[in-house]
Structure 1
Amino acid sequence: MPGLTPVPSGTPEGTGAPDTSATDANGQLAELLRRSARGDQQAFAELYDATSARVHGLVLRVVRDPAQAEEVTQEAFLEIWRTAARFDSDRGSAVSWLLTLGHRKAVDRVRSAEASTRRDTKYHDTNHQVAHDETADAVTTTLEAQRVRHAMQQLTEAQREAIGLAYFGGYTHTEVATMLDLPVGTAKTRIRDGLIRLRDAMGVGQ
């Protein structure tokens, strides 16, 4: 941690004595927290410099988004500044307290994002409606199709067959004539007469 004694594990080689550097570092952090609780901004700046990288690393592992991790880390340190007086060295080390608070903020951010996604999905599923114009067009098309089918039943079989091929099958008059084995003129006449009768049956133009 920048500005503070590092916290290595194990004991110094060849001494056989426990390494006190970790204890010293935690003691320094605890003192910085106590000074921060009294409103000492310089102490808080030193605390931030010494621990922000570690807190940020933990937060990033939880939220998995660099931009959000930066925001959450700042939120965590704002909370640390506000609540530094709550730190109790008898209940754990300063590092553990800082990381616990950072982890809690990160988890809150993830849960908030998940809840927002669920709300958006639920709202979309509940309130999604087909656009009015699409609905109206669909209804109109359905009703029109029903009218056409009803009117088609009033045509002769020959007229119905010719119109079905020309207008619903998409074939040209020549192709209709070939498919029905008719002269082109006869095919055109059947289609024309059928359309007139279809128009009358549907009441178009009346």
Structure 2
Amino acid sequence: MGRLAAGDEAALGELYRRTGAKLFGVCLRILNDREEAEDVLQDVYLTAWRRADSFDAGRASPITWLATIARNRSIDRLRQIGRRGGDRPMEEAAEVAETGPSAFDRLAEVDEGRRLGDCLRTLDERTRESIAAAFFGGMTYEQLAAGLSVPLGTIKSRIRRGLIRLKECLSQ
């Protein structure tokens, strides 16, 4: 982020290579429109380029900062689309197959991703797989419960306990 704040164009390219697929996924899941998601993604990187000097590593990681910008910009765009009369219900959003590495694989490329991977491996297999499916695979708790043939409350409790353990592990 420091290189980006200094105006290093190569840093912007590297940032895009490392985060583009994940951020595009965030935009696409919210907007459910490929062209709109591409436009918003471009805006996210323009914002990062212009505001890299305002990034505070003490408050968030670069991917968290970028994902927040992507989410907020996507929601803003969704509101604009609604005002234009384009009715796109979120319930009809299609699953999008990604041809590149998964979000988890991309996260593993950075230090935080490695730390997260290490902490995930400390969880039991059922909890780890449930968290991965929900947060990296985009599945809802209801979809997980149905797919695993377990009560919804069980999935919610399993993931909640797992997230608490992850938080403890990551804070060490």
TM-score, normalising length: structure 1 = 0.40
TM-score, normalising length: structure 2 = 0.48
